[in-house]
Structure 1
Amino acid sequence: MTAHAPVTPRQGPSTPEELLTVPQVMERLQLGRTAVYDLLRTRQLASITLGRARRIPAHELTDFIRTRLDQEAAA
């Protein structure tokens, strides 16, 4: 019997992007609806619009948090 290497998920263009709703972002950041929409309006947090639905790519939320942490560390 031979051992097989574990299969790792492929990363890259074929991997679907996780899109978050505003309520999901509210929960993750522990912010209210108005605060999240202010971040979107001022383009501090990037989003896309699908019809009338606003979605935030998960990597954009991660980048936003990382940037804020870097700013706090530099201050």
Structure 2
Amino acid sequence: MEWLIWTGAALALSGVALLIYCIIAALKAKKLGGTDEDIRARLQKVVALNLIALMISAIGLGAVTIGIILG
């Protein structure tokens, strides 16, 4: 089950990297300014990506946990 642990760790790390990207994108959207509607439109894209990143991280951590239990 070692492969499950490493695959889960890779998924978890890629999810964390995507979360860091979301933080940077949100700060960039705030820095660019514009009208409230412009900022809201940019942040809506970031929110969707943020949820995907959290899901990827959760799946990765679950895989690591299952790999440790079965291993």
Structure label with greater radius of gyration? 1
Return the structure number with greater helix share: 2
Same fold (TM > 0.5): no
Q: Name the structure with the higher strand share.
A: 1
Q: TM-score, normalised by structure 1?
A: 0.31
